[in-house]
């Protein structure tokens, strides 16, 4: 059992509470989608859960052990973290970029063991990057680099995957592939936590939604229960219709909600 718990998390920046009394518990088998408007605190929450951002108060534990008490090496073996808009500044081959995700589990000496090379090859194939394996990563398109960075996050087969906007910039085919991959990881016993803006994709693939508004959790539950027109009005200031279709739930945006509740 993998249990990641955040208790009474507060993070302040410039006198403002970016996160305010946030409580969250997630476990393996879940695909948790964190949603909210720009500035709601999503990226900060993911960074806190990954053990990369210190809190002003509150604590995060993994299997009842405080993240702050774990070494970076020990934590890196348990979880992978993919930040929003990742960059690569060095013209290393795409294959090498993906293999960098194995650093936490590499043996101290010697070449890449065959099983690890097989893992790199599999991720290159799954993320549609085989033809780019020898290409300098700095020459990739934005979408290609996003796929390579996701492959790097996945290659070490972590127990926990925390990803910030993993489908931003991807074309429809590769965005769908990425969402299906994240969903499959959760079904296979991993814990996946992702911030996402595509609410239709969230409703169809995530097992749980955590909605943030002004640094607070305002909804937490399965998409069919948590994703409502009232919630979208509250956190995004939009009027929307949540529809059931043969392909799954669909979010139809009707317009921006003004302060009186009408459409503008």
pLDDT band for 51, please (50, 70, 90 cuts). Answer: very high
Cα–Cα nearest to 179, from 161, 206, 155: 206
**Distance (Å) of CA 166 to CA 54, 88, 148, 153:** 23, 16, 11, 11
Are the C-beta atoms of residues 99 and 120 closer than 8 Å to each other? yes
Could you give all domains of the chain from N- to C-terminal order, each with its CATH number? 3-89+158-227 (3.40.50.300)
Enter the pTM of the model.
Answer: 0.93
pLDDT digits (tens, 9 = 90+) for 3-21: 999 999 999 999 899 999 9
The two structure tokens encoding residue 184: 């499959």
The two structure tokens encoding residue 80: 């992978």
Cα–Cα nearest to 54, from 38, 67, 71, 43: 67
Least confident of 53-67, 99-113, 190-204, 211-225: 99-113
Q: For residue 258, report the phi and psi dihedrals to the nearest 5 degrees.
A: -85, 180
pLDDT band for 263, please (50, 70, 90 cuts). Answer: very low
20/178 Cα distance (integer angstroms) = 31
pLDDT digits (tens, 9 = 90+) for 231-260: 999 999 999 999 988 888 899 999 988 644
Cα–Cα nearest to 86, from 158, 149, 40, 157: 149
How large is the C-alpha radius of gyration of the chain? 19
Q: Evaluate if residue 264 carries a pLDDT over 60.
A: no
């Amino acid at each position: 059992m993998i249990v990641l718990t955040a208790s009474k998390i507060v993070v302040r920046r410039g006198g403002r509470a970016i996160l305010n009394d946030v409580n969250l518990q997630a476990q393996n088998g879940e695909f948790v989608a964190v949603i909210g408007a720009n500035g709601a605190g999503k990226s900060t929450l993911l960074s806190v859960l990954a053990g990369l951002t210190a809190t002003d108060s509150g604590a995060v534990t993994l299997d009842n052990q405080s993240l702050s008490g774990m070494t970076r090496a020990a934590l890196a073996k348990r979880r992978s973290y993919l930040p929003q808009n990742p960059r690569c500044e060095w013209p290393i081959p795409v294959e090498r970029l993906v293999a960098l995700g194995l650093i936490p589990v590499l043996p101290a000496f010697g070449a890449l063991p065959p099983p690890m090379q097989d893992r790199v090859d599999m991720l290159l194939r799954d993320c549609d990057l085989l033809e780019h394996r020898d290409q300098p990563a700095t020459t990739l398109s934005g979408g290609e680099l996003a796929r390579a960075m996701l492959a790097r996050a996945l290659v070490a087969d972590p127990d926990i995957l925390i990803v910030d906007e993993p489908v931003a910039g991807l074309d429809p085919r590769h965005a769908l592939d990425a969402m299906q991959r994240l969903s499959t990881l959760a079904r296979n016993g991993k814990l996946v936590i992702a911030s996402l803006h595509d609410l239709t994709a969230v409703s169809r693939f995530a097992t749980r939604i955590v909605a943030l508004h002004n640094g607070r959790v305002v909804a937490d539950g399965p998409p069919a229960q948590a994703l409502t027109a009232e919630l979208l009005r509250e956190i995004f200031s939009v009027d929307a219709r949540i529809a059931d279709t043969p392909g799954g739930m669909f979010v139809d945006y009707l317009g921006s909600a003004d302060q009186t509740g009408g459409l503008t």
